[in-house]
Amino acid sequence: MNHGDTIAAIATATGRGAVGIVRVSGPQSAFIANQMLGCLPTPRHATLLTFRDAAGTPLDEGLALWFPAPHSYTGEDVLELQGHGGAIVLQQVLERALALGARLARPGEFSERAFLNGRFDLAAAEAVADLIDASSTAAARAALRSLQGEFSSQLASLVASLTELRVYVEAAIDFPDEELDLLADGAIAERLSRLQLRITVLGNTARQGVLLRDGVSVVIAGRPNVGKSSLFNRLAERDVAIVTDIAGTTRDVLRQSIQLDGLPVTVVDTAGLRRTEDTVEREGVRRAYAEVAQADRILLVVDDTCGVGAEEQDILAELPEALVRTSLTVVRNKADLSGRPVGLADGPLGPEVTISAVSGAGLTALSAHLKAVVGFSTPEAGEFSARRRHLVALQQATTHIDTAIDTLATRALELLAEELRLAQERIGEITGAVTSDDLLGQIFSGFCIGK
Ligand SMILES: Nc1nc2c(ncn2[C@@H]2O[C@H](COP(=O)(O)OP(=O)(O)O)[C@@H](O)[C@H]2O)c(=O)[nH]1
Ligand SMILES: [Mg+2]
């Protein structure tokens, strides 16, 4: 694909640095190189050259790299100028490239061109950004695997299976006389459920990738003085929040980013939930409820020497029922006083973890529980990064396959074909690849139509 214009940008981070890189991509790149460097550098070799302005005055000296199309990141002619990493010097080099006919690149435009030129698919392009934004080693490793095609290759194999199935079904529709009785031997049903299983497995791995990328938020809530801030400090592994035996100590919302075996978690400490006349504390309570409503997981801390009482029931009554049912863990704190054994148990409101925020007992069980409830397993080989939109698309694809399985019973081949097409389209949305022309090509080349 040919994008008429040439783009340029400073590719390194702003600020002082040992080196700074200006990147140019597009048809004008060779002209820009010749004008600035006085020559076109040998392809893919680092050449030490002087970068000059229009009058021939040196702007900087550094390595010039010339990547002729299509063997470059974008698939176009690319010039990379590695000079000194100063704001002014880089700006001058960039402006020279712009004066020579390039325009300033939009964010992500080099990667966008790489995708449009088929250098990688959409999922891999997204992984480029995820690798740069990775907030943990595990997340970075997963993004690199996606970038290298771990996710894409599995999607491609799903699409191949779907296409193959569609070829059969569409042929049966078009040539009923050929007696391609697909339904008789149950082969289609079996292939559909195998496919369904593969999408589900892929979705589960993708979910890990989403968790690694986005993390989860855990909000600590409860009435005053039960030990919320003490637990918060434990999880943060330092004294962030003020702990006293005075009710109403915490009024602001406090946040801390932590990691549980590579899972990024934002832990939120909140004001004790109670009715109060104090204006400041009341605002704290309002904010606390707002945080709880957005939490991936709520830790309702109770003082285990008192247990779950009327105050806790009042708090629960304020929360959406669905949230309580799906996202609540009761944390029984002060086990050192109550004498209850620490660890995970089932309770009337859902899971309960008994801990002592003061001694740290039960904290390991609490982290293990948190990882388990959000569906996070310790990163292992085969992991790749993914985004929520991928999960949504995979989920929609399974819905279409489900419907396809249902239509088998009615022998409505057109409906079956349509559901398969929609499932493939959803997966194609992940990779950015599917067009109906592709499919037609596949069908005609795979089947002997004239027969
Ligand atoms: N014995 C004991 N005391 C605790 C424990 N956790 C918190 N406390 C005490 O309970 C009081 C209130 O703690 P704090 O963390 O400020 O509670 P918050 O109001 O819920 O944030 C403080 O005096 C803490 O030292 C615990 O596990 N055991
Ligand atoms: Mg507190």
Distance of alpha carbon 23 from alpha carbon 7, whole angstroms: 8
**Residues 113 and 155 occupy one common structural domain:** no
Peptide bond into 320 cis (omega under 30): no
Quick check: CB of 358 below 6 Å from ligand 1?
A: yes
Do 35 and 184 lie in a common domain?
A: no
Other CB atoms within 10 A of residue 76 CB: 26
What does the pLDDT look like over 403-412, one tens digit per residue?
Answer: 999 988 887 8
DSSP H stretches of helix in 148-182: 150-174
Length, in residues, of the chain: 451
Q: Are residues 159 and 246 in the same domain?
A: yes
Listed residues 101, 119, 137: the one ending a domain: 119
Among residues 119, 134, 149, which one ends one of the domains?
119
* Residue 31 falls inside a structural domain: yes
CATH number at residue 59: 3.30.1360.120
Please indicate, yes or no, whether residues 109 and 217 belong to a single structural domain of this protein. Answer: no
pLDDT beneath 70: ranges in the chain: 1-3, 177-185, 379-382, 433-451
The answer to whether residue 430 is domain-embedded is yes
Nearest alpha carbon, ligand 1 atom 28: 334
Check if 272 has its Cβ closer than 6 Å to any atom of ligand 1. Answer: yes
**Is residue 282 assigned to a domain?**
yes
Residue 438: φ, ψ to 5°: -55, -45
pLDDT for 411: 75
What is the CA(232)–ligand 2 centre distance, in A? 9
CA–CA dist 127, 139 (Å, integer): 10
Structural domain of 388: 121-296+374-451
d(CA 374, CA 320): 19
Here the CATH number for the domain that contains residue 220 is: 1.20.120.430
Tell me: do 145 and 243 sit in the same domain.
yes
Residues 215 and 208 sit within 8 Å (Cβ to Cβ): no
Ligand 1 nearest-atom number relative to CA 233: 15
Grouping H, G, I as helix, E, B as strand and the rest as coil, residue 369 is helix
Joined tokens for residue 229:
């801030």
Query: Residue 250: CB within 6 Å of ligand 1?
Result: yes
Given ligand 1 and candidates 225, 235, 336, which is best to mutate, with the most ligand atoms within 8 Å of its CB? 225
Number of domains in the chain: 2
End-to-end CA distance of the chain: 37
What is the greatest pairwise CA distance in the chain?
Answer: 87
Q: Which residue puts its alpha carbon closest to atom 12 of ligand 1?
A: 225
Is 54 a domain residue?
Answer: yes
Rounded Cα distance, 409 and 34, in Å? 68
Give yes or no: residues 89 and 234 share one domain.
no
The verdict on the CB of residue 85 being under 6 Å from ligand 1 is no
Same domain, 90 and 238: no
Choose one of 228, 230, 331 to mutate for the ligand 1 pocket test, by most ligand atoms within 8 angstroms of C-beta. Answer: 230
Domain boundary among 57, 84, 119: 119
97 and 226 inside one domain: no
Confirm whether 392 is domain-assigned: yes
Q: What is the structure's pLDDT at 192?
A: 92
Q: Are residues 135 and 88 both part of a single domain? A: no
- Residues within 5 Å of ion ligand 2, judged at the Cβ atom: 228-229, 250
Q: What is the pLDDT of residue 188?
A: 84
Residues 109 and 125 in one domain: no
- Give the integer Cα–Cα distance in Å for 235 and 360: 10
Q: Is 438 exposed, middle or buried (0-12, 13-18, 19+ CB in 10 A)?
A: middle
Determine if ligand 1 sits within 6 Å of the CB of residue 225.
Answer: yes
Same structural domain for residues 260 and 157?
A: yes
Backbone angles phi, psi at 55, to 5 degrees: -85, 0
Residue 401 lies in a domain: yes
pLDDT at 381: 62
SS3 237: coil
Does residue 272 sit within a domain? yes
In this prediction, residue 439 carries a pLDDT of 35
**pLDDT value, residue 365:** 97
| Domain shared by 214 and 66, yes or no | no
pLDDT value of residue 177? 67
Residue 437 contacts by C-beta under 8 Å, 6 or more apart in sequence? none
In a domain, 438, yes or no: yes
Instruction: From the CA of 247, give the closest atom in ligand 1.
Output: 19
